[in-house]
Amino acid sequence: MKWITKISTHKKGALYIRGKKLTKLIETLSFSETIFFILKGKLPKLNEKKLLDAILVSCVEHGVEVPSAYVPRVIISTGNQINSALAGGLLTIGDFHGGAIEKAAYYLQSNKSAKEIVRESLLKKEHIPGLGHKIYKDVDPRSKVLFKLAKKIKLSGKFIGKAQNIAKEFEKNSGKKLVLNIDMAIAACVSELGFSYKLGKAFFALGRLPGMIAHTYEEVTNEKPYRRFEESDVEYIGPKI
C-alpha cells in the first residue's frame, strides 16, 4: 500500500515535519505554534499564535455538567484506562456539543451574506449555529473576550464582522435576541486564521482535551468506583407495577 503525504517523513534517522526537523521544532516552537505549523505548513505570526492560544483556552472547560466532562468520568470510574475515557469524551463532540463551530464556520466562509443566511434560516425555520446559549442570554463573555483580543492584535476582519452581522440581522428580522455564543466566536476566529470550516470540531477537541484529562484524573484519584444514577434521579414512566 502506498501513502502520499506532505506532513512528515524520515531521512537519515531524523523525523521531518513539513520539511523541518522535529528536534528543531522541539527547541523553537510552542505547542500552539506547532499545531498551526503542522496544519498549515507555515509558522504563525505572533498575533496568529496569540489568537490560536486564546481559542484553545476558551474551549478547555465548561463545568462537570457537560458531556465531554462527565462521560469520561463515568468511563474511567468503571475501571477503564485514561485513554479509553478520553476517547469516550472525544466521541461526545457532536452537532450539539462543540459541533456548532464547524457549521458556523461553514456559513461564515460561504459566499452568502449575513442577510441571506438569516433570511433563509427564518424561511426554513432552521436554527443558526452559533446563536443562543442555555446559560448566557445577553452576552457570552467568552465571545466578548475573544473578539476584543482579535481586534487588539489586528485580526478582527470580515469573518468576525459577518458573525456579528448575523446576530444583528437575526434580532432585527425575528424580534428575538440570541447571544452570539463561543461556537460562533471560535468559528469566526479560526476563519480569520485561514483554517477550513472542516477543522471546527478538531479545534474544540484540541482545546477541551486538557479539561477531560483533569476530570478523569480527579475522578480516578478522588472518587470510588463506579458512577451510577441514584433511584431518586430516575423517573419511571412505564406500565404500572
Instruction: Give the domain CATH number at 142.
Output: 1.10.230.10
Structure confidence at residue 135 (pLDDT): 87
| Same domain, residue pair 111 and 197 | yes
80 within domain boundaries: no
| Same domain, residue pair 52 and 167 | yes
15 within domain boundaries: yes
pLDDT digits (tens, 9 = 90+) for 202-231: 999 999 999 999 999 999 999 989 888 888
Classify residue 155 by its DSSP letter.
-
pLDDT digits (tens, 9 = 90+) for 5-54: 999 999 999 999 999 999 999 999 999 999 999 999 999 999 999 999 99
131: which 3 cell numbers? 446563536
Total tally of structural domains belonging to the chain: 2
| Same domain, residue pair 102 and 192 | yes
pLDDT digits (tens, 9 = 90+) for 91-148: 999 988 888 999 999 999 999 999 999 999 999 999 999 999 888 888 999 999 999 9
pLDDT digits (tens, 9 = 90+) for 143-182: 999 999 999 999 999 999 999 999 999 999 999 999 999 9
Percent of the chain with pLDDT over 90: 90
Question: HEC states along 90-119?
Answer: HHCCECCEECHHHHHHHHHHCCCCHHHHHH
241 within domain boundaries: no
Mean pLDDT along residues 75-84? 96
pLDDT digits (tens, 9 = 90+) for 60-76: 999 999 999 999 999 99
195 within domain boundaries: yes
222 within domain boundaries: no
Structure confidence at residue 84 (pLDDT): 98
Structure confidence at residue 26 (pLDDT): 98
Percent of the chain with pLDDT over 70: 100
Structure confidence at residue 204 (pLDDT): 96
**How far apart (Å, rounded) are the C-alpha atoms in residues 151 and 35?**
22
| Same domain, residue pair 3 and 58 | no
Which residues constitute the domain of residue 24? 1-43
Contact 184, 131 (CB under 8 A): yes
216 within domain boundaries: no
| Same domain, residue pair 119 and 20 | no
Cα four-point dihedral sign 65, 186, 99, 90: negative
135 within domain boundaries: yes
